[in-house]
Structure 1
Amino acid sequence: MKKTAALSVALTALTLTLTAHADVDVKLGSKERVTRLFAYPNNCNVICFRDWTLEQTVEHYLKQSVQRDGYSSAQVRVVNDNDQLHATITGVPDGYDKPLTSLLDAGDLAYSGARKLNADGKFAYNWYLFLPLGMALENRKSVELLHFPPDYSLTQAQDYLRSATSDRWAALLTDNGIPADQTPAFQTIIDIAPIAAPSNAGKDLEGVYGYFNDYQTTMVKQVSQSSTGTSLPMVAFGAPVRSWIKEQYKVEVPVLGLATISPAAGQNVSVIGSNHPSYIWYAADKSNYGGDQTKADEAGLKVMGQDLSAACWQAGMGQKPESDGAALLKKCTTQWQVTDKVQTCKLFYTSVRKLTPDQAAAKCRTGSVGRQLDQLRKPLPQMTRQPAA
């Protein structure tokens, strides 16, 4: 009897193991299709920065995805069979191919939009079509809606999450209790312009969003829903993105404002408005205030408090999507703008002003900074020059 029970347990465990770790085969499409969807070659100017084949390039991004989904032992192999590429992924759950196939199908829509943009003479010579490759495909916690990826994420890092923008926000998530190795699950990115461009190209990209409408709405519909059907919280970063949300879904999402959008019938997604992660460096630049360092610090502290509050909401909703978003936001703003405002101050001076922890602590004890801390919940100081949209 004991042997039978032990055998039953062993068979059950084996079944669960096989269910959890299957071999998944993904048909990627023709060599031509895969070449354009994976921006291949990622950086070749006579000499290739990384001298990879198309198959190696695809493997690189798929390995990033399986790692960020938490399948550390998964293996990826991409082969070309008569100019048709397919990937075999081992050590992932059955069905893991579905979100990848959906991403590539959405990529076809992005490619069509980019071709039309180029035909109309609006695609710049130093832009690259770049899909959000290497993101977590299955174990996502939240979605980040952004403007466009910086070109170096493609040409240098070949990692969609390697940017000053993503790095700073990951740090804010860790400040809100998310372990550093788990932040990629919270940072599944959709850019409204799937174009890798120089970091200062934001103004130039105005007017291109309409070319990617089918891609944008398809991605929001797909990515904002978990593999179990749960709607994931979304952060809308920066003025262009918040304006896009208003135009597309007819809702206002100011900084630290909440809204609900419906990407598909019966699908309700909670959205919070946020500053762009890189905005703080502009807001805290004293040249915007006639050289007044005090006003620049006041502005930086204000933005730091807002950003920590938004990241706090994202972390909380990502872990418990069923939470009351408004109650959580109130708790987060109270934490970072009232209760822990001295910690907010220290994080500003260490991460933005690059002071040591001791220097930051001393700075946050001074009378002038104490006054600045009281400004956390008030409007930003008036700038002498305004940022580009």
Structure 2
Amino acid sequence: MFKLAVLPLAALTLSATVQAADTTNIDVQLGSTERVTRLFAYPNNCNVICFRDWTLEQTVEHYLTQSVQRDGYATAKVEVKIDNDKVYASINGVPKSYGQPLKALLDAGDLAYNGASKLNSDKKWSYNWYLFLPLGMALENRKSVELLHFPPDYSLTQAQDYLESATTDRWATLLTVNGIAVEQTPAYQTIIDIAPIAAPSNAGSTLEGLYSYFNDYQTTMVTQVTQTASGAALPMVAFGAPVRNWIKTQYGQTVNVLSLATITTGSGVKVPVLGSNHPSYIWYAADKDSYDGDEAKADAAGLKVMGQDLSASCWQAGMGSKPGTDPSTLLNQCTQTWQVTQKEKTCELFYTSIRNLTPADAAKKCETPAIKSQLPQLKVPMPLPAEAV
């Protein structure tokens, strides 16, 4: 027994040594100060008084530190300097190839900037929009990709964290319910927004007619981010009606909620895509004002959406944690779990996370005849209000 206990420990020690040996110090030229200023949305929030009075170097260090940490390099250090109008990032404790995806992101960012510039010259840019690339994402050790509409403005101006929003927070919680450790959720939430514009939450309808300005950026990002360094495809979830419609326009594939499609990227990689509700849609679908104040109808719709969202996040978690899993088989398993086998748990999660009941009160609510009779209907299609996000 003693020898059996020692062998795994030795293996772990060796693994840690190999990982340490595989990391090094890299120096990456990010471009001119003008380029880096626009690609890092610098300054992130200054209106005479700066919310955070950071230099350009500090701003870049902030986002690159988020990336190395989300890639799992907890001890990596980032230092950014400007020399002769060029910005250089020195990153210690990452693989020597780590600069490649960083450069690729910034090259794609140039395409986004070109699109935004054209949008502005056509008098379609709004005074309260900000060009905002998906900075701070995992650049290397990604598990899955999330295709979304646009980032909320406060993720840039207040949080300076692309993953800090009501949308991403809720979905991270659903991933943890489906077995992903809290500290691992950023690896599953590598985001591509089809409109790389930080904007107020009510800007969605305005942005819908402007996607073509960013076509080169969008397709480049999808090609880059949906495959690993070895060329393997990563699963992608398409959130919300505008994004699912964009998939149809761009790749010719129809993706409804909880339906699967396969798209072929510019590099020829075939990527499995699952359609999903927007993570924030449930608050609209479960709002009694959408049903003339009828709370019973609002609860029924909310329960339906909760079952769909848990099923979608289950698929994302499973595909990301076990590459090579059959997408269709896994989706069937996930819908069976959250809409049939564990429908009571789905109900309780709805009432705790959306109606803010205590776990005990949620359990009691789900045992009432009125609610209990609805649970077998979770898997049955029903009309829901049109998505507002």
Q: TM-score, normalised by structure 1?
A: 0.94
| Aligned residue in 1 for 2:226 | 224
Matches within 5 A, 1:5-20: 16=18, 19-20=21-22
Query: CA-to-partner distance for each residue in 1:268-304, whole Å, 9 max, x for gaps?
Result: 1000000000000000001111111111000000000
* C-alpha distance in structure 1 between counterparts of 2:295 and 2:268, whole Å: 50
Instruction: Indicate if the aligned counterparts of 1:128 and 1:197 stay in contact, CA closer than 8 A.
Output: yes
The alpha-carbon deviation at position 330 of structure 1 amounts to: 0.3
| Aligned residue in 1 for 2:83 | 81
Matches within 5 A, 1:131-280: 131-280=133-282
* C-alpha distance in structure 2 between counterparts of 1:169 and 1:15, whole Å: 34
Which of the numbers 289, 302, 305 marks the counterpart of 2:304?
Answer: 302
Instruction: Indicate if the aligned counterparts of 2:23 and 2:94 stay in contact, CA closer than 8 A.
Output: yes
The alpha-carbon deviation at position 387 of structure 1 amounts to: 4.3
C-alpha change, 1:105 and 1:170, in structure 2 (3 Å) is same
The alpha-carbon deviation at position 372 of structure 1 amounts to: 1.8
| Aligned residue in 2 for 1:335 | 337
Query: CA-to-partner distance for each residue in 1:21-55, whole Å, 9 max, x for gaps?
Result: 11111110000000000000000011100000000
C-alpha change, 1:296 and 1:51, in structure 2 (3 Å) is same
| Aligned residue in 2 for 1:4 | none
Query: CA-to-partner distance for each residue in 1:82-123, whole Å, 9 max, x for gaps?
Result: 110010000011100000000000000000000000000001
| Aligned residue in 2 for 1:92 | 94
The alpha-carbon deviation at position 264 of structure 1 amounts to: 2.6
Which runs of no fewer than 5 residues in structure 2 stay unpaired?
Answer: 1-13
- Structure 1 residues 365-374 or 293-302, which shifts more? 365-374
| Aligned residue in 2 for 1:8 | none
Task: Kindly provide the amino acid, as one letter, of the partner of residue 71 in structure 2.
Answer: D
C-alpha change, 1:14 and 1:358, in structure 2 (3 Å) is closer
Task: Kindly provide the amino acid, as one letter, of the partner of residue 70 in structure 1.
Answer: G
Task: Kindly provide the amino acid, as one letter, of the partner of residue 149 in structure 1.
Answer: P
The alpha-carbon deviation at position 204 of structure 1 amounts to: 1.2
Instruction: Indicate if the aligned counterparts of 2:222 and 2:265 stay in contact, CA closer than 8 A.
Output: yes
* C-alpha distance in structure 2 between counterparts of 1:176 and 1:314, whole Å: 9
Query: CA-to-partner distance for each residue in 1:237-283, whole Å, 9 max, x for gaps?
Result: 00000000000000011000000000134311000000000000000
Instruction: Indicate if the aligned counterparts of 2:24 and 2:93 stay in contact, CA closer than 8 A.
Output: yes
Task: Kindly provide the amino acid, as one letter, of the partner of residue 136 in structure 2.
Answer: G
* C-alpha distance in structure 1 between counterparts of 2:362 and 2:20, whole Å: 52
The alpha-carbon deviation at position 320 of structure 1 amounts to: 1.5
Query: CA-to-partner distance for each residue in 1:292-324, whole Å, 9 max, x for gaps?
Result: 111100000000000000000000000112011
The alpha-carbon deviation at position 169 of structure 1 amounts to: 0.2
Instruction: Indicate if the aligned counterparts of 1:149 and 1:195 stay in contact, CA closer than 8 A.
Output: yes
| Aligned residue in 2 for 1:286 | 288
SS at match of 2:373: helix
Which runs of no fewer than 5 residues in structure 1 stay unpaired?
Answer: 1-11
The alpha-carbon deviation at position 13 of structure 1 amounts to: 9.1
SS at match of 2:208: coil
Task: Kindly provide the amino acid, as one letter, of the partner of residue 283 in structure 2.
Answer: W
Task: Kindly provide the amino acid, as one letter, of the partner of residue 162 in structure 1.
Answer: E
Aligned length: 376
The alpha-carbon deviation at position 179 of structure 1 amounts to: 0.4
| Aligned residue in 2 for 1:60 | 62
* C-alpha distance in structure 2 between counterparts of 1:376 and 1:50, whole Å: 46
* C-alpha distance in structure 1 between counterparts of 2:84 and 2:217, whole Å: 29
- Structure 1 residues 14-23 or 179-188, which shifts more? 14-23
| Aligned residue in 1 for 2:378 | 376
Tell me the percent identity.
70
SS at match of 2:173: helix
C-alpha change, 1:196 and 1:84, in structure 2 (3 Å) is same
Task: Kindly provide the amino acid, as one letter, of the partner of residue 154 in structure 1.
Answer: L
C-alpha change, 1:121 and 1:331, in structure 2 (3 Å) is same
Task: Kindly provide the amino acid, as one letter, of the partner of residue 205 in structure 1.
Answer: L
Instruction: Indicate if the aligned counterparts of 1:42 and 1:158 stay in contact, CA closer than 8 A.
Output: yes
C-alpha change, 1:332 and 1:17, in structure 2 (3 Å) is closer
C-alpha change, 1:15 and 1:381, in structure 2 (3 Å) is closer
| Aligned residue in 2 for 1:114 | 116
* C-alpha distance in structure 1 between counterparts of 2:62 and 2:159, whole Å: 11
| Aligned residue in 1 for 2:359 | 357
The alpha-carbon deviation at position 374 of structure 1 amounts to: 2.0
* C-alpha distance in structure 2 between counterparts of 1:320 and 1:13, whole Å: 20
C-alpha change, 1:373 and 1:122, in structure 2 (3 Å) is same
The alpha-carbon deviation at position 19 of structure 1 amounts to: 4.3
The alpha-carbon deviation at position 222 of structure 1 amounts to: 0.1
| Aligned residue in 2 for 1:26 | 28
* C-alpha distance in structure 1 between counterparts of 2:96 and 2:67, whole Å: 15
Instruction: Indicate if the aligned counterparts of 2:111 and 2:216 stay in contact, CA closer than 8 A.
Output: yes
SS at match of 1:181: helix
Task: Kindly provide the amino acid, as one letter, of the partner of residue 74 in structure 1.
Answer: A
